Amino acid sequence: VTDLLSERQQLAYIAGQAADARLNLELETEGMTLNIGPQHPATHGTLRIIVRLDGEQVVWAEPSTGYMHRGYEKLTEVRTYPQINTLLNRIDWLGSFANEVPFILAAEKLMEVEAPPRAQYIRTILFELSRLANISLFLGDLGVQLGAVTPAFFAFRDREHVLNLIEAVTGSRFHPNYDRIGGLKEDLPKGFIEDCRAVMRKMRTYCDQIDDLLMGNEILQARTRGVGIIPREIALQYGLSGANLRASGVDWDLRRDQKIPMAWDKCDWKVWTHPDGDSFARSWVRLQETREATKIVDQLLDGLPPGPIMAKVPRIIKVPEGEAWVSTENPLGEMGYYLVSKGDLGPFRLKIRSASFNNISVASWVLRGVYVPDIVTILTSLYFILGDIDR
């Protein structure tokens, strides 16, 4: 493995490997167990992390989940397809609409229905708006975790505009429940296009501000560069996805790299990667993705085709027997549904593959050997939503 790593990555790797052996040897210190959470400001919810310390250094760490487990996989088995949408909204609650899309696509795949082009465009637009609503908060939160409060206010200020757009379209700010098998609930409201363009301009300004405030900030760089390095091999093995994977130098984005009835292939945008794999790289890639998302939305608004927003589907939805796997590149990473249908009103089994579950499972690997203050930056840069871990 070490052949593939850069020098800096090797050091981190060795530090992690050595940490286990070091306890009680150097200074004959006693280990200490520290609970971070379940109620801790750095954990966005109720993730509890148990760390074993040797002095200031983490010897062993283990996230303890389950404080928000809602049993969605069981609940989906007693609900109908339209009802399931409301549950899925609550998995990653910052980018709710994006949760609905892969499920709807999976059902459509089995029903052999495809949404009309206009619906695909609007879906993609809202998907990217969800991304903006989600990641803009990350960028603000990144500052807060490092002691800089201002970016959080910027984030909440500008995220508000995006939420207003989502509300204008779907009627709901957080849990849209807007996607339907075969299309969408409604068309865009009047005036949306102009408003959306204005908001995209604002979001680009916001990105520039964050770029100046945070990314160029010496303190942030000192706290995040070379901290929490995840090499490519490890990232792939753990199934990291989204910006966490791309920050480890893997050029992989499901928006580009799979055939899917959405409109991403209709526009010109970039997949950003970073070779370092550290906390800074993860944050930096997310910032670039936010910019790209505004460009995608702008281009989709330009090319928005007219036409219906709903394909022909039966009034009572029954999905034919079969199995389908559909995943999309959600704000947090790869979100997928393995849908098993027996031809009923609801699924026989729905496996929810959420991004944060894999993304945070690497924590016990990456936290080994780091110092206590770095725990916070690493967890922040891995970026998880509790509902997305526990489901």
Asked whether 64 and 49 are in contact (CB, 8 A), the reply is yes
Q: Is 22 in the site for other proteins (CB under 8 A)?
A: no
CA-based Rg of the chain, rounded to a whole angstrom? 21
Nearer to other proteins, 29 or 172 (CB): 172
What six digits make up the tokens of 373?
């203050």
What six digits make up the tokens of 390?
């526990």
Nearer to other proteins, 351 or 373 (CB): 351
Q: Is 286 in the site for other proteins (CB under 8 A)?
A: no
Q: Which of 31, 216, 303, 320 binds other proteins (CB under 8 A)?
A: 216
Please state, in angstroms and rounded to a whole number, the distance separating the CA atoms of residues 379 and 367.
Answer: 9
Binding mask 355-374 for other proteins (x = CB under 8 A): --xx--xx--x---------
Within 10 angstroms of residue 37's Cβ, the number of other Cβ atoms is 18
Q: Which residues of 142-164 are buried (b: 16+ CB within 10 A; e: fewer)?
A: bbbbbebeebbebbeebbebbbe
Please state, in angstroms and rounded to a whole number, the distance separating the CA atoms of residues 245 and 234.
Answer: 10
Q: Is 112 in the site for other proteins (CB under 8 A)?
A: no
Q: Which of 307, 320, 371, 373 binds other proteins (CB under 8 A)?
A: 307
Q: Is 300 in the site for other proteins (CB under 8 A)?
A: no
Q: Is 38 in the site for other proteins (CB under 8 A)?
A: no
Please state, in angstroms and rounded to a whole number, the distance separating the CA atoms of residues 43 and 36.
Answer: 8
Nearest to 247 by CA among 226, 211, 270, 272: 272
Nearer to other proteins, 163 or 372 (CB): 163
Binding mask 313-332 for other proteins (x = CB under 8 A): xxxxx---xxxxx-x-----
Q: Which of 38, 55, 261, 308 binds other proteins (CB under 8 A)?
A: 308
Q: Is 78 in the site for other proteins (CB under 8 A)?
A: yes
For the four alpha carbons of 340, 341, 346 and 348, in that order, the dihedral sign comes to negative
Q: How far is the CB of 195 from other proteins (least distance, A)?
A: 5
Q: How far is the CB of 197 from other proteins (least distance, A)?
A: 7
136's CB contacts (< 8 A; 6+ apart) are: 155, 158, 159, 162, 203, 206, 290
Q: How far is the CB of 48 from other proteins (least distance, A)?
A: 12
Please state, in angstroms and rounded to a whole number, the distance separating the CA atoms of residues 217 and 210.
Answer: 10
Q: Which of 131, 223, 291, 368 binds other proteins (CB under 8 A)?
A: 291
Please state, in angstroms and rounded to a whole number, the distance separating the CA atoms of residues 115 and 121.
Answer: 10
The interface region with other proteins, picked from 37-45, 51-59, 128-136, 341-349 by CB under 8 A, is 341-349
Within 10 angstroms of residue 256's Cβ, the number of other Cβ atoms is 14
User: What DSSP letter does each residue of 96-151 carry, written as one string?
Assistant: HHHHHHHHHHHHHHHHT----HHHHHHHHHHHHHHHHHHHHHHHHHHHHHTT--HH
Q: Is 280 in the site for other proteins (CB under 8 A)?
A: yes
Binding mask 162-201 for other proteins (x = CB under 8 A): --xx-xx--------x--x-xxxxxxxxxxxxxx-xxx-x
Q: Is 238 in the site for other proteins (CB under 8 A)?
A: yes
Q: How far is the CB of 55 from other proteins (least distance, A)?
A: 25
Nearer to other proteins, 28 or 112 (CB): 112
Q: Is 312 in the site for other proteins (CB under 8 A)?
A: yes
Q: Which of 73, 90, 148, 261 binds other proteins (CB under 8 A)?
A: 73
